[in-house]
């Protein structure tokens, strides 16, 4: 997932606002105690998500893929008073940890945390979304997108993570075209060709597709 010189990456991080004490704790504990810590959004991407949220000032946020709660905490920073963040994850083993972080942040009343299949849960959420963050199984990116696009407020944003897939969206960086990579290639084209949105693919970390509903 490293696309630029390590020293430049370090310089960029050193000139990016610091993560809070709680986010630092989540970051550290995830790397020490949880499998696949590279799934964590991390410092720089987390600050970008928080900045998007502060700019948009959303009333309703949907996150598909909670993991250990780092990105949810970042996204919640820009919520309007009384706003709600809905976040969904299938890993019930992380539930107590994540609920603990949300409680520590004082966000228990602002976050609705679901354990289960997002394809089943999303239709049950009665909300119009101002901001959606998709960071779950890549095969279903297009399905998640289709489920939310008509429920986005005009001017709302959809952000999808890992759309460069460690560079494997380019043939020269992969040995074969696996199912996840094929799904991401199709998803990136789908968003880019969708006349309902304007989009930009940001080569930050593992790639963020950002689409604004017109």
Where b means 16+ CB within 10 Å and e means fewer, 161-196 reads bbbbbeebbeeeeeeeeeeebebbbebbeebeeeee
Q: Does the pLDDT of residue 2 top 70, yes or no?
A: no
Q: What is the mean pLDDT of the chain?
A: 96
Mean pLDDT calculated for residue range 194-206: 96
Strands of 129-134's sheet in order across: 111-115, 84-89, 60-64, 129-134, 152-161, 208-213, 197-202
Strands 60-64 and 197-202, by their bridges, are unpaired
Is residue 61 within 8 Å of residue 48, measured between CB atoms? Answer: no
- pLDDT (tens digit, 9 = 90+) per residue, 70-101? 999 999 999 999 999 999 999 999 999 999 99
| Neighbouring C-beta atoms of residue 147, cutoff 10 Å | 17
C-alpha 90: how far from chain center = 15
Distance CA 211, CA 180 (A): 21
Max intra-chain CA distance, the chain? 49
Say what the pTM is.
0.96
- pLDDT (tens digit, 9 = 90+) per residue, 172-186? 999 899 999 999 999
- pLDDT (tens digit, 9 = 90+) per residue, 126-149? 999 999 999 999 999 999 999 999
Determine the angle formed by the axes of helices 21-33 and 42-56, rounding to 10 degrees.
140
Distance CA 130, CA 1 (A): 28
Domains and CATH numbers, the chain: 6-213 (3.40.50.150)
Q: Does the pLDDT of residue 1 top 70, yes or no?
A: no
């Amino acid at each position: 997932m490293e696309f630029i010189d390590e020293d430049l990456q370090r310089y960029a991080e050193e000139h990016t606002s610091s993560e809070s004490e709680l986010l630092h704790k989540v970051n550290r504990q995830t790397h020490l105690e949880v499998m696949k810590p590279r799934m964590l959004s991390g410092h720089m991407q987390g600050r970008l998500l928080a900045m998007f949220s502060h700019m948009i000032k959303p009333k309703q946020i949907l996150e598909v893929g909670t993991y250990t709660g780092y990105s949810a905490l970042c996204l919640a920073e820009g919520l309007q008073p009384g706003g709600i963040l809905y976040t969904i994850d299938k890993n019930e083993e992380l539930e107590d940890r994540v609920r603990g972080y949300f409680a520590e942040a004082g966000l228990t009343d602002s976050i609705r945390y679901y354990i289960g299949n997002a394809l089943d849960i999303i239709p049950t959420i009665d909300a119009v979304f101002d901001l959606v963050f998709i960071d779950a199984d890549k095969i279903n990116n297009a399905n998640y997108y289709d489920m939310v696009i008509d429920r986005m407020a005009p001017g709302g944003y959809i952000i999808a993570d890992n759309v460069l897939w460690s560079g494997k969206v380019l043939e020269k960086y992969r040995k074969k075209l696996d199912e996840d990579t094929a799904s991401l290639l199709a998803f990136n084209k789908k968003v880019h060709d969708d006349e309902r949105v304007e989009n930009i693919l940001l080569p930050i970390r593992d790639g963020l597709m950002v689409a604004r509903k017109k």
